[in-house]
Amino acid sequence: MAERISDAEHAVMEVLWDHAPLDAQSIYDRLADSQSWTLATVKTLLSRLVAKDALATEAQGRKFFYRPVIERTAYVAGESRRLVDRLFGGRLSPLVAQFADAETLSPEDIAEIEALLQELKK
Amino acid sequence: MAERISDAEHAVMEVLWDHAPLDAQSIYDRLADSQSWTLATVKTLLSRLVAKDALATEAQGRKFFYRPVIERTAYVAGESRRLVDRLFGGRLSPLVAQFADAETLSPEDIAEIEALLQELKK
DNA sequence: TTCGTATGACTACAAATGTAATCGAAAGCC
DNA sequence: GGCTTTCGATTACATTTGTAGTCATACGAA
């Protein structure tokens, strides 16, 4: 388990993390504005996610309802760590520095992060 | 251009970002302890990176010296942004929060990040 | 001059990924 | 009860990626 989730598959996961159990058609509908996939494509992604144990199904009559097995929190944590390990030697501060240099931090962001750190220090 | 660099290719880029122009053999040598690739594999990766315009070559006698065309800074910035956009709605603070929750921040990390933010506020 | 050798180019091939059509069965409609 | 619609399952196929073997060739040693 803990198979790698691809980009396309991730988009499907996001929908399910947002709206609990859904059937294929509903997932397709919700993806409609962000992606221009056919229903068939969405179904393929769903099958692959089930095969990867990232989703579980629950038969409801003749259709399936899909629900995440993996928590979004866990996924996000894993991906974040992967990136930080790969690009910043496992340390978070260089990443923050990187955003600082890019000047992509608003005063609100700065305040928010500071608050977080304050919390941590206690 | 700006083709996507794969994980394996990234490992090669790191070597070159670290040690200016190198020939295939030297790159292979430097990768030896982290990866168990054959020289042939390294050469394939090098070719692909050249095809993607991520590396440039410079003939020196009968061998090539490879050097990055893409700056590590730019690559790192791009990858970081991709992740933050994809998983945190483009905001950095939720990522920091994520690491805070995971308790992976040492007091030194915290101090360092705070210092960075102090700098920014000026 | 002849050979062995090192080098980049080309070829190979399985697995993963993106994207989708088709097929068989079940369900509902008339 | 047959026909159509709807599902999930199966199959398809190009591209990317991981991993590596082979080939032509230019060099250098003898």
Residues B91/A109, Cβ–Cβ less than 8 Å: yes
| CA atoms of A116 and A122, how far apart (whole Å) | 11
Residues A25/A43, Cβ–Cβ less than 8 Å: no
| CA atoms of B48 and B42, how far apart (whole Å) | 10
DSSP, res A83: H
When pLDDT is cut at 50, 70 and 90, the band that residue B1 belongs to is low
* pLDDT, position A88: 96
| CA atoms of A109 and B12, how far apart (whole Å) | 34
Q: For strand C, list residues 48-107 of chain B whose Cβ lies within 7 Å of it.
A: 50, 62-64
**According to CATH, what is the number of the domain B7-68?**
1.10.10.10
- B7-18 and B39-51 helices, crossing angle to 10°: 90
* pLDDT, position A61: 84
* pLDDT, position B121: 82
Please tell me which of the candidates B76, B92, B102 has its beta carbon nearest to residue A96: B92
pLDDT digits (tens, 9 = 90+) for B12-35: 999 999 998 999 999 999 999 999
pLDDT digits (tens, 9 = 90+) for A63-102: 999 999 999 999 999 999 999 999 999 999 999 999 999 8
Q: Does A71 touch chain B (CB under 8 A)?
A: no
Q: What is the mean pLDDT of residues B35-62?
A: 95
Cα B122 to its chain centre, rounded Å, is 30
Q: What is the mean pLDDT of residues B104-112?
A: 93
Q: Which nucleotide is nearest to B57 (CA to C1')?
A: C8
* pLDDT, position B122: 75
Q: Does B59 touch chain A (CB under 8 A)?
A: no
Name the residue of chain B whose CA is nearest to A75's CA.
Answer: B87
Q: Does B120 touch chain A (CB under 8 A)?
A: yes
* Cβ contacts of B97 on chain A, cutoff 8 Å: 116
Distances (CA, A) of A59 to A9, A48, B6: 21, 17, 38
Contact A116 B98 (CB under 8 A): no
* Alpha-carbon gap: B61 to the closest alpha carbon of chain A (Å): 34
* pLDDT, position B60: 87
Domains B7-68 and B72-121 share a fold: no
Plot region of A58 (φ>0 → left; ψ -120 to 50 → alpha; else → beta): beta
| CA atoms of B59 and A17, how far apart (whole Å) | 52
* pLDDT, position B62: 86
Q: Which nucleotide is nearest to B28 (CA to C1')?
A: C7
**According to CATH, what is the number of the domain B72-121?**
1.10.4040
| CA atoms of A118 and A29, how far apart (whole Å) | 42
Which amino acid is residue A67, in one-letter code?
Answer: R
CA–C1' span, A55 to D1, in Å? 39
- What are the residue boundaries of the structural domains of chain A, listed by start? 7-68, 92-122
Plot region of A65 (φ>0 → left; ψ -120 to 50 → alpha; else → beta): beta
Contact A104 B92 (CB under 8 A): yes
**Radius of gyration of chain B from its Cα atoms, rounded to whole angstroms:** 18
| CA atoms of B44 and B46, how far apart (whole Å) | 5
For residue A8, count other CB atoms closer than 10 A to its CB: 14
CA–C1' span, B40 to C10, in Å? 12
Interface probe for A, chosen from B12, B35, B92, B122 (most Cβ of A below 10 Å), is B92
pLDDT digits (tens, 9 = 90+) for A1-47: 678 999 999 999 999 999 979 999 999 999 999 999 999 999 999 99
